Structure 1
């Protein structure tokens, strides 16, 4: 059950919240409350205490105080909003981060109110979006609930000086975006014993039943072989849990464009016969994060009634070693008829994605966007919070704008054409490996080969931010993050007319 969001425009005394969260700015002369909703005496008392309490206004810092006069809540929490000099999108992202930080650190609290001194619809949506994202809890697979698991908030109230009727659409949109990301996280966190190609496709089919304007078509292993999907079939042929391709399509009544999304769905990656070291297999349940984001972006587009046709291609396989698995120097044939010499079976993501991109190209969409946990090089270059973005310049710019609106960071990477020659093969049309230098770009150039002529395209390498191996921060939990889901939705929406 999703958290209920509401807007509060009256005095704080009438709030129904166990904890009232007040935003604290980091100002040139020290920290101070962002809101003036409290009575003057109460606000002045807190402002005087801030520095002695150790409050700095820094993002992610939270402090707790007893309730004060003028607010009905028994507990006051102070959350850092960062610098008071931020403006525009940077300000919105700080609000989103702070709201998520507050609800994450207050998990187990049933009713929370957030007062950051906001007034505009964009600010309300940013705070609401962050609050939903931060209120995320998961039990995992246990016989009984662990003591460490804290419940998500039942209700979150956004305090704002705004017209409630104008702000309501912002709350609705924030809930849809936030819950889509959280659903993607839950998929990423599922163990490979429970999530594999067939079960992923079945789960998608069950979800689609609740949407009258969304359909799904699943290509099982036999059909993949028959219809020339050598990438997906080849990568998954060595596993007893056979590969599949699920095509999820949202069809509004009068679409203004057609966006194709291709998601990598390797439900577990051992590296295949080019076997990974044991330590490198840890976290490889997340190698289907791209497909998770695509699935829930398509469903969110339907819920938001975006007038853009969206087709999501979930390229699902389990990459396992064995006598029936791909071998180095095997040659496979991709959906578009081109052949690939496989030099490393641990560079399998680009093989399944090639099939998805080739099939997407057959419908001649307005644009193709692919999203994948593709290369360790992206992680090495950009860290664990920023995704790599490659492809056509105008599409890259549009993705980056959608990401900024979502609180998700991307860095544009050029596709240097001279690197393409390193993938030349003496026995096939292309190799799945190239120069050891520039390997992030090599992967992008490989995928570009299978984009239909004249179709705008961009590639999102989310290997770093898809799975958080470090401590939770802002609205981001440990493990699956759902990164990219909101970006995809905002990208789709950018084509609405």
Structure 2
């Protein structure tokens, strides 16, 4: 579905359906009063009958009214508050879309730009509306014999009430389109089964993206390359599987050649059985989502190339499959990481940090401005934060603040957790430099502490997306595409600084 914007008289706009907001109690705003005048009071008479209370998300479809060019009018309740929250704006947009998808119209016009939303200007409102619409039409039925019926709706237009607002609304819609495309790419990869989406497949997806965009080049390191680099921690995870590991390096050159890049590192465990420390069978199918960190980096790069940002970015996808076998790593094994630090592997199900630690060491060669790793790393993060926000830690407070700000702007939030030295003691090992787990307490934080030991030579942040990368169980089960919006916003902010 395409999203665009235009400035026009709402009364004269020709569309299959015009969407307008109605406050609780049937109160008309300035736009509503204009439309009511054009249809000789028919709108206010309709509301007085009480067919629409105006509660947030309620909808009422009205056939064409004399004096208004739209074939239909979709009234959507905005609630009692004059200033809407982001949640309410998403709710009313999603409710309107549900109705629109059931109609035969090919297009719709959303006249919601004058709704007041807390902390949002015209650009911000346009992005939220557009992303909600685009997310709402996502379907993954690749393996269904009976495909979902295609909806007639092909285009939504955001109506600007003034020419002065049009540029910002258009920019918001364009950015949302790129972000939604990236998030859909991430969702598709996450939803694929592990028998198809293995490390080599992810590498192929990156290579295909690179071929389609001139500013993007791809390099793929194989098992032999990883062994030569001394990535003993990475290989300890991969050695139990018949699927060979891959380290995918993505170079986006949007800035000057000598300009230091930003680096995104994604955990790409394409299926996680837990290895010898085998996971319980119930729900193990969802471990196909353990590569959502790598999928997020790919999705962010998809958005990045569409936005054509004037910065340099490196993406590192640490891809392996964690399986039990006669070749698999045993609990108690000790391996040497690329950094030279030795690791005692007390639990083979704490594998994500092992592929990431070597990849974080590899990232040093790019002399990055900042490094952000993204990983479905710990179940403890779901216990701590649920599925609403991602966990965030790091060694550089300005970088942390930049990510938190980007999350707020994108409505894809993170929450900072402490990374105090006291937690590091839980990783002490009597036999090696470090153990790969720190016991039952503060599991998310000790995982971050582990990674921090391999990220001392640059500004680094860690995003634990175990609770946000996918919806577990139920009819809405599937990858969410998060945190593509947050990371894309982070890069948009850095691009804006580069232009300033």
- Tell me the equivalent position of 1:426: 430
- Tell me the equivalent position of 1:169: 171
- Tell me the equivalent position of 1:213: 215
Q: 2:405 aligns with which of 378, 389, 401?
A: 401
Q: 1:102·1:134 contact (CA, 8 Å) conserved in 2?
A: no
3-state DSSP of counterpart to 2:112: strand
Matches within 5 A, 1:432-451: 432-451=436-455
Question: Per the alignment, do residues 487 and 342 of structure 1 end up closer, same or farther by CA in structure 2, a change over 3 Å counting?
Answer: same
Deviations 1:333-359 (A, max 9, x none): 222121111111111111111122111
Task: After TM superposition, give the deviation of residue 185 of structure 1 in Å.
Answer: 1.1
Question: Per the alignment, do residues 154 and 362 of structure 1 end up closer, same or farther by CA in structure 2, a change over 3 Å counting?
Answer: same
Question: Per the alignment, do residues 83 and 315 of structure 1 end up closer, same or farther by CA in structure 2, a change over 3 Å counting?
Answer: farther
- Tell me the equivalent position of 2:380: 377
3-state DSSP of counterpart to 1:39: helix
Task: After TM superposition, give the deviation of residue 361 of structure 1 in Å.
Answer: 2.3
Question: Per the alignment, do residues 104 and 430 of structure 1 end up closer, same or farther by CA in structure 2, a change over 3 Å counting?
Answer: farther
Q: 2:350 aligns with which of 347, 372, 394?
A: 347
Question: Per the alignment, do residues 419 and 8 of structure 1 end up closer, same or farther by CA in structure 2, a change over 3 Å counting?
Answer: same
Question: Per the alignment, do residues 11 and 270 of structure 1 end up closer, same or farther by CA in structure 2, a change over 3 Å counting?
Answer: same
Q: Which of 1 and 2 has higher RCO (CA within 8 Å, sep 6+)?
A: 1
Asked if 1:489 is matched to 2:488, the reply is yes
Task: After TM superposition, give the deviation of residue 371 of structure 1 in Å.
Answer: 0.9
What CA distance in whole angstroms lies between the structure 2 residues aligned with 1:214 and 1:263? 17
What CA distance in whole angstroms lies between the structure 2 residues aligned with 1:387 and 1:70? 49
3-state DSSP of counterpart to 1:426: coil
Asked if 1:414 is matched to 2:418, the reply is yes
- Tell me the equivalent position of 2:360: 357
Task: After TM superposition, give the deviation of residue 253 of structure 1 in Å.
Answer: 3.7
- Tell me the equivalent position of 2:108: 112
- Tell me the equivalent position of 1:254: 256
Q: 2:463 aligns with which of 441, 460, 466?
A: 460
Q: 2:273·2:279 contact (CA, 8 Å) conserved in 1?
A: yes
Which consecutive residues of structure 2, in runs of 5 or more, have no partner in the other structure?
116-121
Which consecutive residues of structure 1, in runs of 5 or more, have no partner in the other structure?
none
Question: Per the alignment, do residues 45 and 371 of structure 1 end up closer, same or farther by CA in structure 2, a change over 3 Å counting?
Answer: farther
Question: Per the alignment, do residues 166 and 466 of structure 1 end up closer, same or farther by CA in structure 2, a change over 3 Å counting?
Answer: closer
Q: 1:100·1:133 contact (CA, 8 Å) conserved in 2?
A: no
Asked if 1:296 is matched to 2:299, the reply is yes
Q: Which one has the largest radius of gyration?
A: 2
What CA distance in whole angstroms lies between the structure 2 residues aligned with 1:160 and 1:42? 24
Question: Per the alignment, do residues 178 and 25 of structure 1 end up closer, same or farther by CA in structure 2, a change over 3 Å counting?
Answer: farther
Task: After TM superposition, give the deviation of residue 251 of structure 1 in Å.
Answer: 0.8
| More deviation, 159-168/299-308 | 159-168
- Tell me the equivalent position of 1:155: 155
Asked if 1:84 is matched to 2:84, the reply is no
What CA distance in whole angstroms lies between the structure 2 residues aligned with 1:425 and 1:84? 56
What CA distance in whole angstroms lies between the structure 2 residues aligned with 1:202 and 1:159? 40
Q: 1:95 aligns with which of 86, 89, 112?
A: 89
- Tell me the equivalent position of 2:243: 241
Question: Per the alignment, do residues 267 and 75 of structure 1 end up closer, same or farther by CA in structure 2, a change over 3 Å counting?
Answer: farther
Q: 2:337·2:343 contact (CA, 8 Å) conserved in 1?
A: yes
What CA distance in whole angstroms lies between the structure 1 residues aligned with 2:98 and 2:289? 22
- Tell me the equivalent position of 1:7: 5
Question: Per the alignment, do residues 471 and 410 of structure 1 end up closer, same or farther by CA in structure 2, a change over 3 Å counting?
Answer: farther
Matches within 5 A, 1:185-334: 185-254=187-256, 257-334=260-337
Q: 2:4·2:174 contact (CA, 8 Å) conserved in 1?
A: no
Question: Per the alignment, do residues 300 and 388 of structure 1 end up closer, same or farther by CA in structure 2, a change over 3 Å counting?
Answer: same
Question: Per the alignment, do residues 366 and 319 of structure 1 end up closer, same or farther by CA in structure 2, a change over 3 Å counting?
Answer: same
Q: 2:275·2:328 contact (CA, 8 Å) conserved in 1?
A: yes
Deviations 1:219-276 (A, max 9, x none): 1122112212223322122111111111111011437652110111111111111111
What CA distance in whole angstroms lies between the structure 2 residues aligned with 1:322 and 1:168? 54
What CA distance in whole angstroms lies between the structure 1 residues aligned with 2:162 and 2:256? 33
Q: 2:184·2:481 contact (CA, 8 Å) conserved in 1?
A: yes
Question: Per the alignment, do residues 54 and 282 of structure 1 end up closer, same or farther by CA in structure 2, a change over 3 Å counting?
Answer: farther
Deviations 1:314-370 (A, max 9, x none): 111111111111111112222212111111111111111112211112322111111
What CA distance in whole angstroms lies between the structure 2 residues aligned with 1:441 and 1:155? 45
3-state DSSP of counterpart to 1:22: strand
- Tell me the equivalent position of 1:56: 55
Q: 1:55·1:63 contact (CA, 8 Å) conserved in 2?
A: no
3-state DSSP of counterpart to 1:283: helix
Deviations 1:161-198 (A, max 9, x none): 13245543332222111211111111111111221110
